[in-house]
Amino acid sequence: MFRGDDDDDFTQGSSSKLASLFGIGKSSQEGNTSLTYTAPKQPKKGRAESQSVKGQAVGQSSSQTAPSSAKLSIIAVKAVHTYKLADGNYIAQGKLGAAVLGNAASQTYQLLLYKGKQQHVTSARISSAFQFVVQANNYATFYDDQMQNWSVMFESSDDAVEFAKEVGLARVNAVADQTDHKLVVQDLLSGVGSAAGEGDVVDVCYIAYPLTAGMLGQEVANTTKSEKPQRAKLRKGSWEEGLLGVAKGCKRMIMLPPFLVVRF
């Protein structure tokens, strides 16, 4: 329904090629701390108006983009088919790169759609309230800093899950005061059927990890190999609150604040 012609700059399974546009020779998952991305500086007063217009044409927000002094490193990068909402319809924009960028020191994180190192299509500042809505068939939607709605389709379920996971971690790490964490949920795969509400009982399997210095540690519990899933009654004020809204088959990342952490 949304699928359009691929842009010639991208080919099937080209995650590593996308990263090379930024001058990176290995996966961002391996921790390339030397690679950085610096948001364009705002034009000085008195510059031609055309320069300001050009800055907004590639999706740079004058009020919400990362400060020019904050150098953002690549955290994750994937190839996506992109669609922009216009007049109630999603219009194909071709095949682009999607990246999660971040600076842990300044708690600055950004989702970027780009066609090349110097051609950034649009960007969205990632905060704890940022909404990255996953949908069926490897689709996801979000609003950029200009409040333009975008739909992206990943080339595989694994790509969709990995990218959504990094968006979820960025949402938590974007909190300036790490003692002020609230419960944050990020769906990785959408479910089917009716959504569970308060008081409902659901069967779940989970893997638990500690979150240390903004990164996931070694797993401390894993029930995915158990013959019987764990039964949980959904209620607020407990870790089960993170299951509100799940549907059958949903895969969700739940990031718990310290006061909701339980012993697994």
At 20 the pLDDT is 52
At 214 the pLDDT is 78
For residue range 247-260, list pLDDT tens digits in order: 999 999 998 887 77
CATH code of domain 71-180 = 2.30.29.30
Residue with structure tokens 């999660």?
A: 100
pTM for the model stands at 0.74
Half-sphere exposure of residue 48: CA atoms within 13 angstroms, side-chain side: 3
CB under 8 Å to 231, separation ≥6 — which residues?
A: 201, 202, 203, 204
At 262 the pLDDT is 66
At 228 the pLDDT is 84
For residue range 131-190, list pLDDT tens digits in order: 999 999 999 999 999 999 999 999 999 999 999 999 999 999 998 665 566 889 999 999
At 9 the pLDDT is 45
Give the start-to-end residue ranges of the domains of the chain.
71-180, 182-263
Q: Which residues of the chain have pLDDT under 70?
A: 1-69, 176-181, 262-264
Going by the DSSP 8-state scheme, the letter that residue 166 receives in this structure is H
At 177 the pLDDT is 62
- Pull the structure tokens for residue 86: 């216009």
